[in-house]
């Protein structure tokens, strides 16, 4: 069953790199890839499209990733969404806060594209 992935990051080159990284899931498995450039837009797309996985930056304009994660997890209609916080904030306190907000995973930038692909496959239940 193909799923949907949403990429939410205010840096265009990060969004493009993530899209390229996840492209094989789109081509080989029919996974739909969406993207947003800020937290407000990301939250709107989560509510509209109900993605299975969201790769979410923390430091963004309008709404930060923690706020988006918290709102998604508090909403019964979106709470099943898997959120992967993908951020430059690598301190343990940041990781702990992200996981406490309900994130499924916490990854730091710079990220390994193979690891991102592995996490997406795992959360979408797509075998290697």
Number of domains forming the structure of the chain? 1
What pLDDT was estimated at residue 1? 59
* 127 in any annotated domain: no
* 41 in any annotated domain: yes
Q: How many CB atoms lie within 10 A of CB 22?
A: 21
* 126 in any annotated domain: no
- Tell me: the pLDDT tens digits for 56-100? 999 998 999 999 999 999 999 999 999 999 988 888 999 999 999
CA–CA separation, 104 vs 72, rounded Å?
A: 12
* 128 in any annotated domain: no
Query: Which residue range is the domain that position 27 belongs to?
Result: 4-120
- Tell me: the pLDDT tens digits for 33-49? 999 999 999 999 999 99
| Predicted TM-score of the model (pTM) | 0.95
Is pLDDT at 2 greater than 80 in this prediction? Answer: no
**How far from the centroid of its chain's Cα atoms is residue 68's Cα?**
11
Which CATH number belongs to the domain containing residue 36 in this structure? 3.40.50.2300
* 125 in any annotated domain: no
* 95 in any annotated domain: yes
């Amino acid at each position: 069953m193909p799923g949907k992935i949403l990429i939410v990051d205010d840096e265009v080159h990060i969004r493009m790199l993530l899209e390229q990284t996840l492209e094989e899931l789109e081509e080989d498995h029919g996974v739909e890839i969406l993207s947003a450039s800020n937290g407000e837009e990301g939250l709107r797309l989560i509510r509209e499209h109900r993605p299975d996985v969201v790769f979410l930056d923390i430091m963004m304009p309008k709404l930060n990733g923690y706020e988006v994660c918290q709102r998604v997890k508090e909403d019964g209609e979106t709470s099943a969404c898997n959120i992967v916080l993908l951020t430059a904030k690598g301190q343990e306190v940041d990781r702990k806060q992200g996981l406490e907000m309900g994130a499924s995973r916490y990854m730091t930038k710079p990220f390994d594209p193979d690891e991102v692909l592995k996490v997406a496959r795992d959360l979408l239940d797509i075998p290697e």
